[in-house]
Structure formats: structure tokens, C-alpha cells
Amino acid sequence: MNPLQLNGIVKQYAGHTAVDGLSLEVEAGEIYGLLGANGAGKTTTMRMVLGLIYPDEGSILYNGKPYHSGLQPLMGYLPEERGLYPKVKISDQLLYLANLRGMKNADAKQSLRYWLERFDAMEYENKRIEELSKGNQQKMGFIAAVIHRPQILILDEAFSGLDPVNVEMLKEVVLELRSEGTAILFSTHRMEHVEELCRHLTMLRRSKPVLQGDIREIKKSYPREHVLLRTPQPVPNLELLEGVQSVNRHDDGNYRIHITNEEAAQRILQAAVAQGTVDRFEIQEPTLNEIFIKVVGSSHE
């Protein structure tokens, strides 16, 4: 039985449907991607999972059981909007939150120390949130979400506001939690993070799930419409070949060619070989970003 199961959940706000018939399951030890344009219903879904608001229809099961008050220690949440008090000493509020979720003082202190060291952030222990940079506030928010080692972790735009070094640091931690068996529901607009971290995903469009499943399977099910070609010499007239829609040559000498069918790829290869050496030739799977734009559309709702 999976730690988190959503069955046909529906949520309405004053006649407007924010989430419409969403079902998904997050396994122990997996990061599940929840994607959608702005306003598609991701945060509403996460708030329902946390028991902050209730679905109008459908059910949410935690280890097979409906919501009950004893669940809070099992769950951790990093909200998109920062949730910590700006003026309270950091260690005080993190320890308070750990206590609230059932941790004994000594364990909470040990866990706090572990996470502050893990994030190279010992110096912030006695500071207030308002004294920290946005990225460091985000790290403290993450510690607040995981200090009690939740079984189900909800991450809403976890990497926003972080510099590349800190993104890598947080990614490593998320992967570590996954390998320890945490079920992680992960919402983001950054498709490359989903490609890198998640096994399954749901894309929401205007409150409805429009694409769901195993990411590798999803990618395989879309046509391959791009060719990557690297040649030491230019290959003229590629755009005139049948099935070639557009040709871009980058500064590094790589061509990225948009094709309408896979036979066009063979024509490109033949044309390139006829000119001389071919260093690289690849028919590329669509990126998740391309699939997202196709399925969800680029417009914000």
C-alpha cells in the first residue's frame, strides 16, 4: 500500500473548480512530479494533502487510511510562500515545529544540528529569518519541513530562489530522503528538475489532469521531432530537405533541426555524410518542456 493515494479529488471555490478529478499515488521512495501552468491547481492539491483544506469530492488516503489528527508527525511541507516567522530566532522556531510534530527535545536538537551542518548553515542558528537572504530562508524552510523526518514530504517550488550551488545541495538532500523511503510530492515549473528527479508525473491543465504516468514512457510516446547534428563543415540546404521544418546552427557548430517525420532524419544524415565527416548525429526524444508546452500550452491561466 502506497503512503499517499488521491482518489478523484475535486475542490471548488465559490463555483470555480480549482482541482477536478485528480487521482494519483506516491510510492515510498519516489519523487512524484506535479506540474501545471500558474493557477492549474497544484497548491490547492498540496493543501488538501496536508489536511489544511478538504476535498469536496473524492478521498485522500495515507497508508490506506483517511485523514486523522495523528498524521501531522508523518508529513512535512515546504510551502511556495515562506512559512516561517520573520522575527523569531531560527533555532527556537525549528525546535518548536519539531516538538509540535512529536519529537522529543533531545532528538529535535540533534536533528536540527544535523540539518544545519548538512546545509552549511550553523551560523544562522541564533539569527532571525528576516536577517537571512532569500535563498538561506528557503533552506531554513526546508529544514522546517524535514526536521522530524516525515514519511510524506510535500515540496512546492523547493528550489526557487536558490543559486546553482544550493540547488545542487538541496537536490542531493532530496535524493537522499528518497533513498531513505520518503514519499515526495514535488511541484515545480522547472521541467529539467522533474526530468532529473521524478519517476512519475501528473500535468494539470485548468484544474484537470491531462497527462499522467511514467516519465520515460511518456517521452517515448511522443514523436521524436529534433535532430542534433555536429559536423566540422557546414551542410548547405538542409532546410530544403523534405520533412525538415527549421534548421538552427548554434555558435558551437551544432545543428538543431526540427523535423516533421523520422524519415527526414535519414535524409539529413545522408546530406551531412555527402559533405564529409559527421561528428555527432542524434534523433532526440522530446524534452519534458516541449511536452509541457504541447499539452498544457505556454499561456498562463
Ligand X SMILES: Nc1ncnc2c1ncn2[C@@H]1O[C@H](COP(=O)(O)OP(=O)(O)OP(=O)(O)O)[C@@H](O)[C@H]1O
* Position 38 contacts ligand X (CB under 6 A): yes
* Position 21 contacts ligand X (CB under 6 A): no
Q: β-strands 200-205, 208-214: how paired?
A: antiparallel
How many distinct helices (H) and strands (E) make up the chain? 9, 13
Please, which of residues 71-130 interact with ligand X by CB under 6 A?
80
Stretch touching ligand X by CB under 6 A, among 38-46, 99-107, 118-126, 247-255: 38-46
The contacts of residue 248 (CB under 8 Å, 6+ apart) are 255, 256, 257
Q: Is the dihedral of CA 58, 60, 64, 65 positive or negative?
A: negative
Nearest to ligand X of 43, 182 (CB atom): 43
Rounded to whole angstroms, how far apart are CA atoms 198 and 190?
Answer: 12
Stretch touching ligand X by CB under 6 A, among 35-43, 145-153, 224-232, 253-261: 35-43
Sheet holding 226-230: strands in order across?
244-249, 254-259, 226-230, 280-284
Nearest to ligand X of 187, 231 (CB atom): 187
Rounded to whole angstroms, how far apart are CA atoms 37 and 207?
Answer: 10
* Position 18 contacts ligand X (CB under 6 A): yes
The only residue of 3, 33, 36, 209 in contact with ligand X, by rule CB under 6 A = 36
Give the nearest distance from C-beta 188 to ligand X in angstroms. Answer: 9
Site string for ligand X, 40-59 (x = CB under 6 A): xxxxx---------------
Extract the C-alpha cell encoding 191.
521541467
**What DSSP element (H or E) covers 266?**
helix 263-275
- C-alpha pair distances (Å), 257 with each of 12, 145, 251, 260, 279: 44, 44, 14, 10, 16
Stretch touching ligand X by CB under 6 A, among 39-47, 129-137, 169-177, 233-241: 39-47
Give the nearest distance from C-beta 44 to ligand X in angstroms. Answer: 3
The only residue of 1, 8, 13, 196 in contact with ligand X, by rule CB under 6 A = 13
| Site for ligand X, rule CB under 6 A | 13, 18, 36, 38-44, 80
